[in-house]
């Protein structure tokens, strides 16, 4: 199995962070900032499964044309591969997977 280096572009990181921040604001009485941090950390950690446990797929969004896509149960990631480096360029929560 090939070992990859991973680069997470700011756009992907910000999409994850912004999604959970919005959840924390909307559900402030039941969803804490600790929950937000845990969920965001898990979404970022799952990126390291790309090309290992998360299979490569063709993108379903037009804006991701030219990239590969991988997904967990909650998050979809758009990425490209350059030599031994996986570059994650975008992320989208499953609830928001539409054009």
Domains of the chain: 5-92 (3.30.2310.20)
What is the Cα–Cα distance from 54 to 94, expressed in whole angstroms? 15
CA separation (Å) from 63 to 71, 79, 84, 89?
16, 12, 24, 11
Q: Convert the pLDDT of each residue in 9-46 to its tens digit.
A: 999 999 999 999 999 999 999 999 899 999 999 999 99
User: How many CB atoms neighbour CB 27 within 10 A?
Assistant: 12
Report pTM: 0.93
pLDDT at res. 99: 75
Residue with token string 């996986």: 86
Q: Determine the Cα–Cα distance for residues 36 and 38; give it in Å rounded to an integer.
A: 5
């Amino acid at each position: 199995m090939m070992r990859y280096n991973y680069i997470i572009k700011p756009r992907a990181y910000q999409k994850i962070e912004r999604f959970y921040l919005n959840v924390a604001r909307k559900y402030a009485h039941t969803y804490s900032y600790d929950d937000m941090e845990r969920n965001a950390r898990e979404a970022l950690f799952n990126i390291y499964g790309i090309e290992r446990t998360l299979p490569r797929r063709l993108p379903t969004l037009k804006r991701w044309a030219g990239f590969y896509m991988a997904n967990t149960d909650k998050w979809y990631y758009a990425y490209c591969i350059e030599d031994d480096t996986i570059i994650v360029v975008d992320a989208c929560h499953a609830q928001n997977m539409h054009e």
